[in-house]
Amino acid sequence: MVMLKGVLSAIPSHSMTCFKLPKSLIKRIQSAVTRFWWDDRAGTKKMAWIAWSKMMQPKSKGGLGFRDFECFNEALLAKLSWRLVHRPDSLLGRILLGKYCTDSGILTCQSKSSESNGWKGILIGRDLLINNSGWLIGDGNTVEIWSDPWLSTTTRESPMRPATETTASLKVSSLMTLGTTEWDLQKIRDICPAHEDQILKI
């Protein structure tokens, strides 16, 4: 068990950090781990009595805690994307963002047909971040009312649309008393009254 988790499962980690591995390769890695677990000697295949999906479950849920290699690959790419989001001035950030994100930031740049496999992997990690993150409200100056998920810290939730023409581009700070970070009840009722209770709890 220790060898499987500490050695065999860790061998492809470096490649997974940089590239999105093909599904066929991930299946081969999974197969190698499965055969190492069930077979007692090279060249002899024994029956796998438990499905791999069950073995990947945490021990608390009756599994063995093996890695889901595809999810692990995407998580490592998301970690690299997170680094580019928070450290765009690093050497890696200056090179990659200067080449692929000349007109926008990494969170909004679009995929292009001419990009490298490495950058495609980073965008997969970026999309994972976007789909599983939200905003914590400070002064609200950088958060869009209608398009950013800011109403909840546990789910991706934004106010129900449609927005009016005059409020479509407003920031969350527009719902606060001018010059403070206190909610303005009247502004909330004028702009998005359906979410008054949720907003006041933030």
Domain boundaries, the chain: 2-70, 71-131, 135-202
- pLDDT of amino acid 125: 92
Most confident among 56-65, 78-87, 111-120, 155-164 (mean pLDDT): 78-87
Band of residue 105 on the pLDDT scale cut at 50, 70, 90: confident
The b/e string for 25-53 (b: 16+ C-beta within 10 A; e otherwise) is ebeebbeebbeebeeeeeeeeeeeeeebe
pTM beyond 0.75:
no
Residue 55 has pLDDT above 90, yes or no: no
- pLDDT of amino acid 9: 62
Residue 49 has pLDDT above 80, yes or no: no
User: What is the Cα–Cα distance from 164 to 168, expressed in whole angstroms?
Assistant: 6
DSSP state of 138: S
Neighbours of 62 (CB within 10 A): 10
Among 10-24, 77-91, 122-136, 175-189, name the one with the lowest average pLDDT. Answer: 10-24
More confident residue, 13 or 200: 200
Average pLDDT score, the chain = 85
The residue type at 105:
G
